[in-house]
Amino acid sequence: MTMTSLIIHAGAGGTMDNLRGTAQENHKALHIVLERGRAALAARMSAMDAAELCVRLLEDNPLFNAGCGAVATATGQFELDASIMDGRDLKAGAVACVRNIRNPVSLARLVMEKTPHVLLVARGAMNFANSQDIPQEPDSYFQNALDKAHAGQKDAGTKHGTVGAVALDCEGNIAAATSTGGTADKMDGRVGDTPLVGAGTWADNRCCGVSCTGIGEHFIRTALAHRTAMIIEKDGVSAQDAAALALTYLQDMIPGGEGGLIALDKQGRIGFAHKNDILMRFGYIEHGGQSVTALSAAEAAGKL
């Protein structure tokens, strides 16, 4: 039986000046998600179920730019993207530009399980959502959460962000899931890396699971989630080394490339990296150990 591991993130970008909520509130929110994930994996829940559960919890928290905490487009719309991937067989599901969906990650999973497709977008995805009776919310649900998140901030808050989770279950299976509320003031119809398998999300039992966060266009151009996996598979390095190497590649190829990523390899070792001058909210439980939460890689390193 494999010792379970779990890593989550709630977005890379911004500084303490435009952090949604206090540092303490962010740490507490991440800890709650990790412990819910730990309990699920301890109860022999699959990696897929655990990754979806953790992302749903993150989507339901207005501190984070996903689900209810989404940011608005240039025309005031809330367009949401999400994806989920099963490392056992590379099955995946994703949605892009959906509106009013409470938990886009669950709709993405339904795309994987109930259709022959991987990615559904906009009207087609909404038609499918309606056929599945998936919970939906009015625009006010997202707007009220956004207003609350921005209350008391020194500026309009982090303009982009994502949430994600990667889990390793007791059977040795890996799953990854990612969800986003997009980039503030983006053009209607803009799609970032989050729903694109290989760019924002990847899972393969042979090597690892990955979830990315940052400026989506940069991760699409570098296919960074898949590249991280290939570094692990081809070079035999740990998840931590692979995350660092992938981030270096991003910044070498795209000067000013911004963002971060989390990874979890088949041995249950966690990895994380992000651009030095921004925050990344994340947390992990490695090999069933203590829960660690951090607002940056430097903070996490200080807790090791």
- Contacts by residues 118-123 (CB-CB < 8 Å, ≥ 24 positions apart): 118/92, 118/93, 118/94, 118/197, 119/83, 119/93, 119/94, 119/95, 119/195, 119/196, 119/197, 120/94, 120/95, 120/96, 121/95, 121/96, 121/97, 121/191, 122/96, 122/97, 122/98, 122/189
- As a whole-number percent, the residues of the chain with pLDDT over 70 amount to 96
Instruction: Please report the pLDDT score of residue 92 as a whole number.
Output: 98
Paired with 283 in beta bridges are: 8, 293
201-235 residue pLDDT tens: 999 999 999 999 999 999 999 999 999 999 999 99
67-121 residue pLDDT tens: 999 999 999 999 999 999 999 999 999 999 999 999 999 999 999 999 999 999 9
Helix 104-114 vs helix 122-131: angle between axes, to the nearest 10 degrees?
A: 80
* Residues noted as catalytic: 162
> What pLDDT band is residue 158 in, cutting at 50, 70 and 90?
low
- Answer yes or no: is pLDDT of 61 > 60: yes
> What pLDDT band is residue 1 in, cutting at 50, 70 and 90?
confident
9-20 residue pLDDT tens: 999 998 998 899
Instruction: Please report the pLDDT score of residue 271 as a whole number.
Output: 98
Instruction: Please report the pLDDT score of residue 161 as a whole number.
Output: 83
Computed over every residue of the chain, the mean pLDDT equals: 94
Question: What is the DSSP secondary structure assignment for residue 13, as one 8-state letter?
Answer: -
- Burial label for 249, CB within 10 Å (0-12, 13-18, 19+), is middle
**Window from 50-54, 120-124, 156-160 with minimum mean pLDDT:** 156-160
More confident residue, 238 or 303: 238
Question: What is the DSSP secondary structure assignment for residue 21, as one 8-state letter?
Answer: S
Instruction: Please report the pLDDT score of residue 151 as a whole number.
Output: 66
Question: What is the DSSP secondary structure assignment for residue 51, as one 8-state letter?
Answer: H
Q: How many CB atoms lie within 10 A of CB 253?
A: 12
Residues 125, 140 contacting (CB under 8 angstroms): no
Residues 23, 152 contacting (CB under 8 angstroms): no
164 closest CA partner among 231, 225, 100: 225
Q: For each of the domains in the chain, give its residue range(s) and CATH number, in order of start.
A: 5-303 (3.60.20.30)
Instruction: Please report the pLDDT score of residue 152 as a whole number.
Output: 53
